[in-house]
Amino acid sequence: EPEVTQTPSHQVTQMGQEVILRCVPISNHLYFYWYRQILGQKVEFLVSFYNNEISEKSEIFDDQFSVERPDGSNFTLKIRSTKLEDSAMYFCASSGDTSLSSTDTQYFGPGTRLTVL
């Protein structure tokens, strides 16, 4: 069964450093998303991406965040200058096949645990 993969599984960084979280969505999916989950809290939407541009972003997704699809398979989330409060699990998700059904399921990756020291 196809699945979303994410690397690394755990990233430790110093405050102020840049990090790039990587995701390989399910091939032939067209919509990509990033969510985060602070320990013990709800899963929160960050950004959605379609046709090489951001479709929607939340108030969490400020100028420190950016997303990119550098090639035909990867989808990345960059945090330019990490803060302590960026420590969380970051989940990538993808949905949508060529039929573009409005009920296409979002499939989540296993997550990257980001720890900012």
Partner 1 sequence: LAKTTQPISMDSYEGQEVNITCSHNNIATNDYITWYQQFPSQGPRFIIQGYKTKVTNEVASLFIPADRKSSTLSLPRVSLSDTAVYYCLVGFSGGYNKLIFGAGTRLAVHP
What does the binding site for partner 1 look like in residue numbers (CB under 8 A)? 4, 31, 33, 35, 42-45, 48, 50, 55-56, 58, 89, 91, 93, 95-96, 100-111, 113
CA angle 87, 109, 39 (to 5 degrees): 30
Distance CA(47)–CA(75), nearest Å, equals 12
Distance CA(55)–CA(23), nearest Å, equals 18
In angstroms, what is the minimal distance from the CB of 8 to partner 1?
A: 14
Q: Which of 15/54 has CB closer to partner 1? A: 54
Please name which of 110, 115, 93, 111 lies closest in space to residue 12, comparing C-alpha atoms: 115
Q: Which of 37/81 has CB closer to partner 1? A: 37
Q: Which of 65/96 has CB closer to partner 1? A: 96
